[in-house]
Structure 1
Amino acid sequence: MSTLTCGITYVSGCWGGCAEVDSLTEAVVGEGFLLGCISCKKRAEVPAEAVVDWFFRPQEHGNYSHIFQYDHPTARSLHPDFSGRVEWRGTQDPDIQIGAIFVSNLTANDSGTYRCRFQRTLFLKLYNHQTTIEKVVELQVVVEAQRELTSVVAEILMYVLIVVLQLWLILVLVYCYKKISAEQEAREARTALKTRTKLPDPDEDCDAIKTE
């Protein structure tokens, strides 16, 4: 849900960067869920107005029910099962491009097909052009959220990376220790050699005394 929220936040702040991000499709019982629906205009400079309607069809039934409508600035919940549970999270402007809604306190009965419909009027110079765009979201409400495969793989890779970095650090420490030890031994050997070179030879001293 966070990815979709970020996408919607970005889009709402910049008309030129509008991107039609797909809605997530899995929610958890007792929690809230953001149903995403984005319809970008082909030409941002053309003034327009839109009305967004949401419809719901449960898994057990074949008919759609009209559950919500947003006609700026009026938001209306139109079905008793969703009364007080639907909040508009789309564009706060007549020229709607983001038609997202937030449904709170989800139950298993909220699983089903949600249809979002944009009825947009483009105000052209010569005439007004009307278009209708629909998008569908298949929502599954579960008792416990199922972790996505990408999340599991990312977590495994994170642990593998941690282990590899630790092994690399150990190898670096061992290498540095051996290098420092070798340099220390070489330094001590050179010092001992210099010391032996500077000491006088006792036999030479004795020969010098005899000569005198």
Structure 2
Amino acid sequence: MRRRLLPLLVVLSLFVADALGACAEVDSMTEAVAGENFYLGCISCKRREEVSARTTVDWHFRPQGEPEFRHIFHYEHPTADVLHEDFSGRLEWQGTNHEDIQIGAVTLRNVTFNDTGAYLCTFHRTLLLQVRNEKVTVKKVVELSVVAVANRELTAVIAEIMMFVLIVVLQLWLIVVLAYCYKKISADHERREAKKALKAQEQALLESKDDCDVHLE
């Protein structure tokens, strides 16, 4: 469930950053499934939204068990360059689509077990100030593991349990409502029958009185 929610959260962050000037940092997921696509999230919010900036983003990859990072991706609006043959045709820019970048995410397509390792996301940001420009570098690391089958996360299990409990509660509530309605209908029926019986008795008394009056005459 969290895997499904993360792209939505990042898309919402992108919309907010573009439309309202706000930014919310969301950590990337760290578990990918072999053969599927994976969203490598990376967000760096500016401290002062009113200041314009020019930013470039670089991604580096260090395979599991190796000491050195290798440069695999560079983005400078509007150009995205894949710099390593192992990732050729497999990395797609999913970040901010203008120079003032706050979302530096990429999609890694057709994940393999060889993609296990550390991914370093680096923002090179130049703040365009009135006096003089200021350069800021922000780095974030995503430790990625690749599995054959997606693990069921605790949130998904809890959601299923809550759904089961909700269904049971709704069924019990329906039974109570049906019992109440049946009882009310039965009571109304008994009252109607009692009124009919009372009217029949009153009619019988009136007829008896009329007979008595006839005989007396």
State if a TM-score over 0.5 links the two structures. yes
1:93 alignment partner in structure 2: 98
In structure 2, relative to structure 1, the CA distance for the partners of 1:204 and 1:83 (3 Å cut) is closer
| Alignment-mate amino acid for residue 204 of structure 2 | L
Asked whether the equivalents of residues 77 and 99 of structure 2 are also in contact (C-alpha less than 8 Å), the reply is yes
2:80 alignment partner in structure 1: 75
Q: Deviations over 1:54-109 (max 9, x none)?
A: 11112221221111111222211111211111111111112111100111010011
The secondary structure found in structure 2 opposite 1:93 is coil
1:199 alignment partner in structure 2: 204
Residue 203 of structure 1 and its aligned partner are, at CA, apart by 9.7
Q: Give the Cα separation in 2 of the matches to 1:206 and 1:93.
A: 106
Give the TM-score normalised by the residue count of structure 2: 0.89
| Alignment-mate amino acid for residue 184 of structure 2 | K
Residue 205 of structure 1 and its aligned partner are, at CA, apart by 4.8
| Alignment-mate amino acid for residue 180 of structure 2 | Y
Gaps of 5+ in 1: none
- Over the matched positions of the two proteins, sequence identity in percent amounts to 57
Map 1:39-50; keep pairs closer than 5 Å: 39-50=44-55
Instruction: Please report the RMSD computed on the Cα atoms of aligned residues, expressed in angstroms.
Output: 2.0
Q: Give the Cα separation in 1 of the matches to 2:81 and 2:213.
A: 120
2:38 alignment partner in structure 1: 33
1:114 maps to 2:116: no
2:110 alignment partner in structure 1: 105
In structure 2, relative to structure 1, the CA distance for the partners of 1:43 and 1:196 (3 Å cut) is same
In structure 2, relative to structure 1, the CA distance for the partners of 1:99 and 1:203 (3 Å cut) is closer
1:188 alignment partner in structure 2: 193
Give the TM-score normalised by the residue count of structure 1: 0.91
Q: Give the Cα separation in 2 of the matches to 1:164 and 1:158.
A: 10
Q: Give the Cα separation in 2 of the matches to 1:101 and 1:202.
A: 97
Residue 2 of structure 1 and its aligned partner are, at CA, apart by 3.3
In structure 2, relative to structure 1, the CA distance for the partners of 1:72 and 1:207 (3 Å cut) is closer
Match of 2:163 among 131, 150, 158: 158
Match of 2:58 among 44, 53, 58: 53
In structure 2, relative to structure 1, the CA distance for the partners of 1:198 and 1:56 (3 Å cut) is same
